[in-house]
Amino acid sequence: MRQTGPDPASTDHLTDSIEALLPALEAFLRFEGPDPAGRRSAWYPLLDRPLPARGSGREAVLAEMRDLLIPYGLRIGHPGFSGWVTTAPSTVATAADLAQTVVAAQRWWATSGNLVDTVAMRWLVELLGFPPSFGGVYTGGGSTANLLGIGAARQHAGERLGIDVSRDGLDGIPDPRVYASTETHHVVGRALGVLGMGRANLRSIATDADGRIDLGLLEAALDEDAAAGRTAVAIVGCAGDVNTGVVDPLDDLARIARERGTWLHVDGAYGGFGLLDDRVRDLFGDVTAYDSFAIDPHKWMAAPVGTGAVIVRDEEILARAFAIETGAYDRERDREPTMGDLPSPFLELGHGTPDMGVDFSTPARGVAVWAILSEIGAEGMRARVTRHLDCARRVAERARGSDELELLIEPVLSICCFRFRPPGVADEATLDDLNERVLDAVRARGRTVTSSTRVGGRFAIRPCFINPRTGLDDADALVDEVLAVGRELAGRH
Ligand SMILES: Cc1ncc(COP(=O)(O)O)c(C=O)c1O
């Protein structure tokens, strides 16, 4: 039937609608009782419905959210959750996300969202200790932030050979290569694939005894490739690798990059906020020597998932790397922003441009960062990071002090890798199997949920503390759970 009246979607009743969800959201965030989400038979069939030909209306949809979507959500904000590198947003960040959705989508236009996004980037640059000449752009996450940093490196490598890669492609750049340690997150390899350089052209360099990129092997690889006429596009350093939190020797990487005229990209998606803790600040070296830096406010800063950022020394290279032609429909992009008063914000764009990334339509992701920093300030972030490093150190201390636990690597940031190792069990395969079962059983009990990795080939239980709700008691609870479950399973072994 032809629609002549008002649109079928409601565009009013915002208060009613949000209020209808709030009790369920508050209940979810109390994380009471056993986690119901595992009982899939209770909710899969109800949510997995065919496309409705006719809508059921606002109230029915809200009821479904209240009764199904919310209660069966993922409890990554639970204080006992220390898995992977993820957490739930803080209250102000959640509220900022809602406000931004309503008023600040399409961040390029010269409205409050655009300005706040710009201010939030300036604050992030300052918080992390970069000089004000550095700039950047918010992205959907660390994956895109790394893509943009390496994209800028690719542009830089081309320009050194007189080629505008963004316009003319990679022809003319002989065998582009990127160098990173074996511990580097796989999104870096994917970035090479997306950027047309090929995942196979990521040269993975083994790590030294401390888990840091082996500088001798790196230089040997660079020499070998230079002799073969290949192009060093970038060296990628880990500022907190995802497995163990190890920080590569970034000052050395900066020196090597400078000597060879190549680019230093640093992946601080997880560990970048470690810059705020003076006990480990020196590990990060001189940040002014970085060419680009990926950082994820949706990790340690507890911004809503979907908030990453890339910070660069030279925004112009980033803009050339991701240049986009102006369409006939968006003539405002050709105008220089005046930043003066306007009769309408639709007359010109604000700060930043869609050339600085791969998004065109995009939310003002920086609004959440601005709200978080407005609420807790630089000192609040510093206190959180310090507390979380303390949590990792607490787990390490307890592992060292127990004859049933083994610390697999000294924690550097807020990750601590350890395992259950009852006296008398030395066989590695048995220990791997036992620890896998310990991890599953700990998760099943629900008091704490964490994740795993491998350290030196061994299966490791790997808490990563970034959760604003998590403190030292939760770190202790995790160790207690591992011991309790481990003893039970080892008894049956
Ligand atoms: C070191 C590191 N780099 C990159 C990423 C990818 O970031 P995102 O998941 O935000 O895309 C992660 C995710 O955990 C990470 O820990």
Asked if residue 331 belongs to a domain, the reply is yes
| Cα gap 458→419, rounded to integer Å | 9
pLDDT at position 5, please? 75
The pLDDT tens digits for 320-359 are 999 999 888 887 888 888 888 999 988 888 888 888 999 9
Task: Give Dmax over CA atoms of the chain in angstroms.
Answer: 79
Query: Which residue's CA lies nearest to atom 14 of ligand 1?
Result: 85
The reply to whether 432 falls in a domain is no
State the DSSP code for 276: G
Residue 86 Cα: closest atom of ligand 1 = 14
- 140 with 246, same domain? yes
Residue 286 lies in a domain: yes
For ligand 1, say whether the CB of 127 is within 6 Å of any of its atoms. Answer: no
400, part of any domain: no
pLDDT grade, residue 493 (50/70/90)? very low
The response to whether residue 141 sits with its C-beta less than 6 Å from ligand 1 reads yes
> Is residue 242 domain-shared with residue 346, that is, in the same domain?
yes
Q: What is the pLDDT of residues 107-165, one digit of tens each?
A: 988 899 999 999 999 999 999 999 999 999 999 999 999 999 999 999 999 999 999 99
308 lines ligand 1 (CB under 6 A): yes
Position 109: which residue type? W
pTM for this predicted structure: 0.97
| 22 and 54, same domain (yes or no) | yes
Cα 275-276-281 angle, rounded to 5 deg = 45
Do 147 and 179 sit in the same domain of this protein? yes
* 82 assigned to some structural domain: no
Is 409 within a domain?
no
Q: Examine residue 88 and state whether it is found in any structural domain, yes or no.
A: no
User: Does residue 307's CB lie within 6 angstroms of at least one atom of ligand 1?
Assistant: no
Domain co-membership, 66 together with 136: no
Token pair for 271:
């560990």
Indicate whether residue 265 lines ligand 1 (CB < 6 A).
no
Which of 138, 185, 250, 273 has the most ligand 1 atoms within 8 A of CB, as the residue to mutate? 185
Q: Strands 308-312 and 135-139: what pairing?
A: antiparallel
Domain count of the fold of the chain: 2
CA distances from 281 to 300, 302, 367, 413 (A): 16, 21, 27, 10
Residue holding tokens 């609040």?
A: 380
Nearest CA to ligand 1 atom 5: 142
Q: 176 in helix, strand or coil?
A: strand
What's the sign of the alpha-carbon dihedral 451, 456, 459, 461?
negative
CA separation for the pair 116, 119 (Å, rounded): 5
Output the CA 162–ligand 1 centroid distance in Å. 33
Q: Which domain holds residue 45?
A: 18-73
Together in a domain, 272 and 346: yes
Q: Are 185 and 165 within 8 A, CB to CB?
A: no
> What secondary structure letter does DSSP report for 78?
S
What lies within 8 Å, CB to CB, of 248 at 6+ separation is 181, 212, 213, 237, 238, 239, 241
330 domain-assigned: yes
DSSP-based three-state secondary structure for 363:
coil
> Do 99 and 69 have their domain in common?
no
Pair (32, 148) in one structural domain:
no
The answer, yes or no, to whether any atom of ligand 1 lies below 6 A from the CB of 242, is yes
Mean pLDDT of 67-96: 98
